[in-house]
Amino acid sequence: GQNIDQPTEMTATEGAIVQINCTYQTSGFNGLFWYQQHAGEAPTFLSYNVLDGLEEKGRFSSFLSRSKGYSYLLLKELQMKDSASYLCAVKSDSNYQLIWGAGTKLIIKP
Amino acid sequence: GAVVSQHPSWVICKSGTSVKIECRSLDFQATTMFWYRQFPKQSLMLMATSNEGSKATYEQGVEKDKFLINHASLTLSTLTVTSAHPEDSSFYICSAPRPGAGGARSSYEQYFGPGTRLTVT
């Protein structure tokens, strides 16, 4: 079957660094996405990885290891506004549909 | 700016009535759009894939006669919740794939509409 796992909730301190892990088992792989979703709002795109390695975009970085079925989202210099749910999603085949993880709720404390 | 719009952003209706939600891609054509439902503190649940010019594909457990989807043009998909009940109260979100920026690593990103909060009384 298709399965994506990520922690349910994480807590971090303002100004610190946090890493949110995602492991996946899918029938195919055509890319992994990270989305941010604030409460009551729609998800917004953060990053996309299709090849192994690290993709850096400002304070956010995303890493992928296809052989391990593993990705992480790294958030640096945490700000209070980073409190949100972070969703990991995999495109398992050539169509547009994504398989979604349940999301990780990140709580930032002062 | 927004690339996918949804209307209405919120709606309250009485049990037994029908509600139509529109999803529009603003500056690109989308032959495929997705409809999701999200209950409080839960993750996105894909309801159906809307295909322009053909029938929608529904996920297991989603009643196609209750959730009518029409993808009438390359920029518009509609979801109609028929004979709504209080348990249909939820946050409904649409998305459309659009080519992402970048060269060889570019891919189709899912752009989400702002969502529609439906409350059935």
pLDDT digits (tens, 9 = 90+) for B31-83: 899 999 999 878 889 999 999 888 999 999 999 999 999 998 999 999 999 99
Tell me which DSSP letter residue B62 carries. -
What average pLDDT does this structure show over A14-30?
95
B105 band by pLDDT with thresholds 50, 70 and 90: very low
Is A33 close to B114, i.e. CB distance below 8 A?
no
What's residue B107's pLDDT? 63
A40 band by pLDDT with thresholds 50, 70 and 90: confident
Round the average pLDDT of chain A to a whole number and report it.
93
Contacts of A50 in chain B (CB under 8 A): 105, 107
Task: Report whether pLDDT(B3) > 60.
Answer: yes
Task: Report whether pLDDT(A96) > 80.
Answer: no
What's residue B15's pLDDT? 97
What's residue B108's pLDDT? 73
B4 band by pLDDT with thresholds 50, 70 and 90: very high
Round the average pLDDT of chain B to a whole number and report it.
90
Lowest mean pLDDT of A13-22, A47-56, B37-46, B86-95, name the range.
Answer: B37-46
Q: Which two tokens stand for residue A95?
A: 């169509």
Q: How far apart are CA B44 and CA B38, in angstroms?
A: 5
Lowest mean pLDDT of A9-23, A25-39, A94-108, B4-18, name the range.
Answer: A94-108
Chain A residues whose C-beta is within 8 A of a chain B C-beta are: 30-31, 33, 35, 40-45, 48, 50-51, 87, 89, 91, 95-98, 100-103
* Cα of A110 to nearest chain B Cα, Å: 23
Q: β-strands B116-120, B10-13: how paired?
A: parallel
What's residue B97's pLDDT? 87
Q: How far apart are CA A54 and CA A74, in angstroms?
A: 10
What's residue A1's pLDDT? 72
Strands of the A70-75 sheet, one edge to the other? A3-5, A18-25, A70-75, A60-65, A53-57
